[in-house]
Structure 1
Amino acid sequence: MTKTALALAACLIALPAWAQMRIGSVDTTFRVLGRNDRIAVDRYDDPDVPGISCYLSHAETGGVKGSLGVAADPSRFSLACQNSGHAAAPASLPANAVVFGVRSSLLFKELRVSRLFDRDRNVLVYLAWSTRSLTPGGSPANAISTVSLSGN
């Protein structure tokens, strides 16, 4: 097996297997060859806090490269999280943890969602961010959503 094949296999094995559901997508740019560019909406259920669901919209590149899974998707996304049932933070919940991620290029780029816990306000803060900065000045694209656990 070549070094490239070994590296690719290692990356694919290391990808997290979170509860994900594709809600739907809309085509944004027509491509003659391959699938169209699109915006996809996926639901992720927090693996550590039952009753919390996050909805992530993200751009997916189409064309031949996108259809083959080798295109790098742009770092454009939005995040909305909410109670989808009774939610309470476990006592052992870490103050900062990556809860799920989506590959946005074949090897190096991933869109991740981290969960931060504001214990003083009993609020979960979900931060979507890209592992590879493509913006001038080096600031990664990001978005946040909060879920209050008050009254649960």
Structure 2
Amino acid sequence: MKVKGVMLALGLGLLANTTVQASDDLIRLGSVSTKWNALGKNDRIEVVGFQDKELNVTCYLSYAEKGGLKEVVGLEEDTSDGSIHCVQTGKISDDDLNKAAKKGQKEQVFKRKTSLLFKSMQVVRFIDFENKAVVYLNYSDRVIEGSPKNSISVVKINNNSQ
């Protein structure tokens, strides 16, 4: 019976270790190793990009990923460290902003699992109509207790040079 439980945990770990995100167009730019591990991949910092599907904005994230044997079996828990920078990549009209804002005060535009079941990294978007800006917040959460570690990027809407 214990063997079945271990196999189920391993299977769930492999499923939970997949990246979940709002955009199917994740841009994998690369990684750098931060710690050598004898078994499995090294600990590393990953650099990825994604498009905000509602607006002409591309965001770039860097985040830590644990390697080693726990990663191989899907039992690792990545740290809450991460950074974000977003840039306007095309024209953003007032209508685009209004459509994005109708979905709510904040909208999740990216999510990835950072542990077997209970922890994830997310990016949410806020719109500042008064200053014609879009704010992206990168943070980690956990079912019981989240982390105060976070990062923001502000995109000032500029349609003059587009």
TM-score (norm. length: structure 2): 0.77
Higher helix share: 2
Structure 1: which 5+ runs fail to align?
A: none
> Which residue in the other structure is 2:148 paired with?
140
2:119 corresponds to: 109
The partner residue of 1:35 within 38, 41, 45 is 41
- Aligned partner of 2:108 in structure 1 is 98
Partner of 1:66: 71
Mean CA deviation greater in 62-71 or 141-150: 62-71
Q: Structure 2, unaligned stretches of length 5 or more?
A: none
Could you list the structure 1 runs, at least 4 aligned residues long, displaced by more than 4 angstroms after superposition: 8-13
Output the CA distance in 2 between the equivalents of 1:46 and 1:55.
11
1:45 to 44, 51, 64: 51
CA distance in structure 2 between the aligned counterparts of 1:124 and 1:23, rounded to whole angstroms: 24
Q: Offset of 1:150 from its aligned partner?
A: 3.0
- AA at the equivalent of 1:144: I
Percentage of matched positions with identical amino acids? 38
Q: Answer 1 or 2: higher relative contact order, Cα 8 Å, separation at least 6.
A: 2
Decide whether aligned partners of structure 1 residues 10 and 62 sit closer, same or farther in structure 2, where only a CA change above 3 A counts.
closer
Q: Is the 8 A contact 2:17 2:113 kept in 1?
A: no
- Number of residue pairs matched by the alignment: 147
The one-letter code of the counterpart of 2:63 is H
Which stretch has the larger CA shift, 117-126 or 79-88?
79-88
How big is the alpha-carbon RMSD for the aligned residues of Structure 1 and Structure 2? 3.1
Q: Please, which of 117, 139, 148 is the counterpart of residue 129 of structure 1?
A: 139
